[in-house]
Amino acid sequence: MTDSQKPRILMCPADYFGIEYEINPWMSVQKGTDPERSSAQWKALHQTLVDLGVEIDLMEPVKGLPDLVFTANAGLVYHDLFIPSRFRYKVRQGETPRFEEWARSRGFRIVELPAGENFEGAGDALFCGDALFAGYRFRSDVQSHQWIGERLGVEVLPMELIDPRFYHLDTCFCPLAPGVAVYYPGAFDEYGRSVILDRIPTLIEVRAEEAVFFSCNAVVVGSTVVLNQGAPKLTADLERLGYQTRALDLSEFIKSGGSAKCLTLRIDGEEAANWKSAA
Ligand code: ARG
């Protein structure tokens, strides 16, 4: 799309972020969020990524779409193709036209899923090497992943998510490079765990007490991993593998069931993200 060798990420400022409904176990309208803190936390993430050399593309925030800030759920980017999300819950469905409009304005070719299938974008579909790891049950449907695999001509590895707190794949699985990933085993059934173990030779397991800080929901930029604070064991494991880490306070977004990775979408493709980090 551009000649830039810089990693490119889509973000949406947190101006209208808040808890206006409850669609996952982390959200409480009654408890709400602190707009000043969420705004400051978002800006710190933005600045961290800029400092790491990422080119950030910004979307216009929209009043009444508090979760638009979670651009990982925009859709799936694959080379010059963009497959827009089909949100399970009505409260998020208004985001799709905004994300489509953005993708069109950037010259992506839009590929629409067949009607009636739920799919929540890079939140549930992550490349590790050539294979697309795809989470289903709480948000995305397994049929949508199969359709995407055929349409893109890529191998899809469907994994059922079993813990409602880890309702998107990116809350419990983070590819670092081909054959290298971080995951929280408790979010998967036995079959999913065995596929991950079988396909990914170098795996860092996250403990339950660190997984609840959304530690798997990390942004990988080259050999740096940006994540929410509260995961000393994971941080040490990553550093042992040669990664640097940047821990931020993203607590306001955890209240909505999201963290660093959810707030970003790799525009040069999720598959590019982990190929480049292998360099
Ligand atoms: N409140 C949002 C929801 O429940 C959070 C989305 C988090 N996104 C992600 N990619 N895990 O839909």
Q: Is the C-beta atom of 24 inside 6 A of ligand 1? A: yes
Q: What is the ipTM of this complex?
A: 0.98
- How many angstroms is it from 116 CA to the middle of ligand 1? 20
Neighbouring C-alpha atoms within 13 Å toward the C-beta of 228: 25
| Rounded Cα distance, 225 and 210, in Å | 15
| Rounded Cα distance, 273 and 279, in Å | 11
- How many angstroms is it from 235 CA to the middle of ligand 1? 23
Atom 8 (ligand 1) nearest CA: 262
| Rounded Cα distance, 94 and 219, in Å | 26
Q: Is the C-beta atom of 123 inside 6 A of ligand 1? A: yes
| Rounded Cα distance, 13 and 76, in Å | 20
- How many angstroms is it from 129 CA to the middle of ligand 1? 24
Atom 1 (ligand 1) nearest CA: 256
Q: What pairing do the DSSP bridges indicate for beta strands 109-110 and 81-84?
A: parallel
- How many angstroms is it from 171 CA to the middle of ligand 1? 9
What's the confidence (pLDDT) of residue 274? 56
Give residues with Cβ within 8 angstroms of 44, minimum separation 6: 248, 249
Q: Which residue shows structure tokens 């036209």?
A: 97
| Distance from the Cα of residue 153 to its chain's centroid | 22
Model confidence over 211-225: pLDDT tens digits? 999 999 999 999 999
Q: Is the C-beta atom of 168 inside 6 A of ligand 1? A: yes
**Model-level pTM?**
0.95
Please identify every residue annotated as catalytic. 168, 262
Going from the first residue of the chain to its last (279 residues), give the mean pLDDT of each consecutive group of 10, the final group possibly shorter.
74 98 98 98 98 97 98 97 98 98 98 96 97 98 98 97 98 97 98 98 98 98 97 98 98 98 89 50
Q: Is the C-beta atom of 23 inside 6 A of ligand 1? A: yes
What's the confidence (pLDDT) of residue 175? 97
| Rounded Cα distance, 7 and 44, in Å | 18
Rounded-to-5 percentages of helix, strand, coil across the chain: 35, 25, 45
What's the confidence (pLDDT) of residue 2? 47
Contact 19, 257 (CB under 8 A): no
What's the confidence (pLDDT) of residue 271? 58
- How many angstroms is it from 66 CA to the middle of ligand 1? 11
Q: Is the C-beta atom of 67 inside 6 A of ligand 1? A: yes
Model confidence over 200-252: pLDDT tens digits? 999 999 999 999 999 999 999 999 999 999 999 999 999 999 999 999 999 99
Atom 9 (ligand 1) nearest CA: 262
Q: Is the C-beta atom of 171 inside 6 A of ligand 1? A: yes
